[in-house]
Structure 1
Amino acid sequence: MKIAIVAPYCSLPGEPNFNRFWYLAVLLSQQHDVLLLTSNFKHLNKSFRRPEMAENASQGRLKVKLLKESGYTKNVSLARVRSHHVLVKDFETWLQNCRHGDWDIIYSAYPLIATNILLGQHKERLGYKLVIDVQDVWPEAFSAVIPALKKIPHNLLPFAARANRAYAAADGLVAVSQSYLDRAKEANPDAAGEVVYIGADYEKLGRAEAKHFGGEATRFFYLGTLSYSYDMETVCKGIQRLAQAGEKVELHIMGGGPDLEKLKQYESDAVKFYGYIPYDEMMSVAKGCDVAVNAIQSYAMQSITNKLSDYMALEKPILNSQENAEVLELLNLLPHANYRSGDVEGFIRAAKELIAHKNGAVDSDEIVRRFKRDISYQKIVQLIERLGGVS
């Protein structure tokens, strides 16, 4: 088959952070011709890719095309809106230049909404089947910036009609959680659907050696973005309070974002910042720690995130503030304790509880089934091949 993957936020080889679309592109290219379309702008560090990076990333039956974007410095800004507009116009030009039969399947990340609407408009003319992979739910995710929006029914939110239009165009729906798939299927109940968690690369994880810290401290760790959706200030305050009370605790924070400088006021012997570091180094530090921290604001719409996939694969106890029902069910597979975001006293109680019970039972077999990519991603391959008429 000829497959195009549209993933504006995809990480390429040599860049930090895993992206499921590169993994899937490589997997599909073992049997099919694949073109990966992604942005020339890297959202993570707000820098531009050089044109030759597309050629360098291409391999065998997998080719890479960079779409033009104007770039931005702040995640919430008019410059980001303009940048997305530039990308969408460049993508539309590419789509208009395609001919009937060029593609059997187009597999597209959601968001963006606009690229998926365009794919729905051109589907009949070009004769492809469309699969949408729901990574986040927009406009519902606006509640991370404006928490009051969480109280409004999602179909009454701005842009909800456009979101429904995008979902409705799909022949197949894949989502990183059941709640995201359910939302998409409200607009398109007849589409084939699969839930496939972002998952973890167990091979890379297995190669990482646990960092040896020495001493008797209980070490908590956090991976990923530091921004308005994540309540790391409560975590830093809680660890600081525990350390001041004589508890032997440390917090190791790996990642960055707009809240990094504000959080650095808590930097101390007990609270350590690493910034963005390579995945294998990050896993080495995490393996050497004792407890993972899943610090998500109560109003945020995230479900099964990248960091939670890594936490589950590491099989570390999890200190959790996320209220998503699907997440709470998953946490029963290993030791965990819950607290409410913003509640420092609640964090301290939960941390003490987990320190006392961190050696509880772990359902390793079920975690592997759900989170090991070379197993779970076969569901995506099978869906694509079924829609493409490959037996």
Structure 2
Amino acid sequence: MKRAYVEINLTKYAENINRFRTIIPAETKLMAVVKADAYGHGANEISDVAVANGIDYLGVAWVSEAIALREAGIKSPILILSEPTINIAADIVRLDVTQTVYTLNFARALSDAAKQFNKIAKIHIKIDTGMNRIGVNGDEATLLVEQIHELDNIFIEGVFTHFAKADTIDDNYTLQQVKQFTEIVTSLEKKGYSFPIKHCANTAGTFNYPSAHVNMVRVGIGSYQDVLTFKSRIAYVKRVPKDSYVSYSCSYKTEKETTIATLSVGYADGLVRALSNKGHVIVNGKKYPIVGRICMDMTMIDLGDDIYHVGEEVILIGSQGSETISVEEVAELAGTISYEILCGIGKRVNRIYHY
């Protein structure tokens, strides 16, 4: 019997990917972002479905993620979304993946490695238009493109930026980012430089800023909507009297005689401790409160006078009967975002895939 597990609905993931196809122009490419183990869903399995449903690119954060996809037999184009350290430029060239570049030093390292292996290194240049995380500053972008263009064995396939506030519709900051990116790219194209792929929009940008679709969009969190169900089981049940304390710090005291069930899941599995005395779970289509501090491996819930037995299935994120606990609801209670909740579901939690 599995103590904690997630069920991944691959049909739902495919539906989400294809929904994005309906809101972008037919000629616009679609990148499926599968970094962080596909936001906790399993990068190899999710990538297989994405490729089968016609995505044009896969996006990852690190070289190690690209290596894992190639070793899994995935041959589709992969964009590494940030620069790694220079010493692994040769690995990138050997992998036949596309590399994000925003410094001349890294471009030179790729050029040297590509010459060594008699290959062409494909790159996308990232321009920072206001996120202030990574990327060449807008006023330095033209010079960088000119310098990289002079390097041997480098093909500038794309150019892109990243929005900081695209979840807000008609936001002036985002519109200014679009304007700055468009002006830089237009200026470069007038100088004779060409970029087969230009992209700005993440999930929120794809929904809220059609003018920013350019000719590729990058979809991450939106493609994972309602794909995952997080489950556990009741491991122990006991009746406790009124005024009994539950779990560490004695933060919960029973108001009457009640039944406490212990679940075989804890914060080491991704049930965040911030849900202590705030969150709920679903058992047999009914919501029950999490009581006391969530422990590393176990969590307690208050069943009142309801009777359940060891082994009963418990929904932590997902739906059962008429009740639903969404990842967004969990994130709000925990004071964070859905991305963190999904990525935080631990490796010791089994993933079960179905269509």
TM-score (norm 2): 0.35
- Whichever structure has more helix as a proportion of its residues is 1
- Whichever structure has more strand as a proportion of its residues is 2
TM-score (norm 1): 0.33
Q: Which has the higher contact order (CA 8 A, sep 6+)?
A: 2
Look at both structures and tell me which one has the larger radius of gyration over its CA atoms. Answer: 2
